[in-house]
Amino acid sequence: METISEENVAKAEEFKNEANDFFKNQKYDQAIELYTEAINLNPNIAIYYGNRSFAYLKTECFGYALQDATKALELDKTYIKGYYRRASAYMSLGKFKLALKDYETVYKTRPNDKDAKMKYTECQKIVKVMLFQKAIAVDDEKKPVSDSINLEAMDVEEDYSGPRLDDGEVTETFMLALMEHYKAQKKLHRKFAYKILLDIKKYFSSQQSLVDVEIPENSKFTVCGDIHGQFYDLMNIFELNGLPSIDNPYLFNGDFVDRGSFSVECIFVLFGFKLLYPDHFYMSRGNHESATMNQMYGFEGEVKSKYSGQMAEVFTEVYNWLPLCHCLNGRVLVMHGGLFSEDGVTLEDIRKTDRNRQPPEQGIMCDLLWSDPMPSMGRAPSKRGVGVQFGPDVTESFLSVNNLDYIIRSHEVKPEGYEVAHNGKCITVFSAPNYCDTMGNKGAFITMTGGKMIPKYTTYEAVDHPPVKPMAYANSILSLLAG
Query: Mean pLDDT, to the nearest integer, of 363-369?
Result: 98
* Mean pLDDT computed over 445-464: 98
Task: Summarize the confidence of residues 416-443 as an average pLDDT.
Answer: 96
pLDDT in tens, 465-483: 999 999 899 866 555 555 5
Domain locations along the chain: 6-136, 148-479
pLDDT band of 66, cuts 50, 70, 90: very high
Asked if pLDDT for residue 24 goes beyond 80, the answer is yes
pLDDT > 70 fraction of the chain, expressed in percent and rounded = 96
How many residues are listed for the chain in this entry?
A: 483
**What's the order of all strands across the beta sheet hosting 406-409?**
210-213, 325-328, 332-335, 406-409, 426-429, 418-421
Query: Is the pLDDT reported for residue 296 higher than 80?
Result: yes
The pLDDT, as a whole number, for residue 139 is 54
Taking residues 147-160, report their average pLDDT. Answer: 94
Mean pLDDT of 18-41: 95
Query: How big, in percent rounded to 5, are the helix, strand and coil portions of the chain?
Result: 45, 15, 40
Strands (E), 181-291: 210-213, 220-224, 250-252, 281-283
409 bridge partner residues:
428
Q: What is the mean pLDDT of residues 318-334?
A: 98
CATH superfamily of 6-136: Tetratricopeptide repeat domain (1.25.40.10)
Question: Same CATH topology for 6-136 and 148-479?
Answer: no
Pairing, β 443-449 against β 456-460: antiparallel
**Active-site annotation holder among 189, 228, 280, 288:** 288
Mean pLDDT of 417-425: 98
Whether 288 is a known active-site residue: answer yes
d(CA 284, CA 287): 10
pLDDT class of 280 with cuts at 50, 70, 90: very high
Q: What is the pLDDT of residue 122?
A: 84
- Say what the pLDDT of residue 131 is: 79
As a whole number of angstroms, the distance between CA 219 and CA 247 comes to 8
Q: Lowest-confidence range among 85-94, 377-386, 410-419, 470-479?
A: 470-479
Given a cut of 70, whether residue 73 has pLDDT beyond it is yes
pLDDT at position 141, please? 60
Which CATH superfamily hosts domain 148-479?
Answer: Metallo-dependent phosphatases (3.60.21.10)
For residue 160, what is the DSSP state? Answer: -
Per-residue pLDDT tens for 178-187?
999 999 999 9
Summarised one tens digit per residue, pLDDT across range 193-235 is: 999 999 999 999 999 999 999 999 999 999 999 999 999 999 9
Torsion, Cα 465 469 473 476, to 10 degrees, reads: 170
Distance CA 470, CA 483 (A): 19
pLDDT at residue number 138 = 54
Q: DSSP letters of 23-38?
A: HHTT-HHHHHHHHHHH
Mean pLDDT, rounded, of the chain = 94
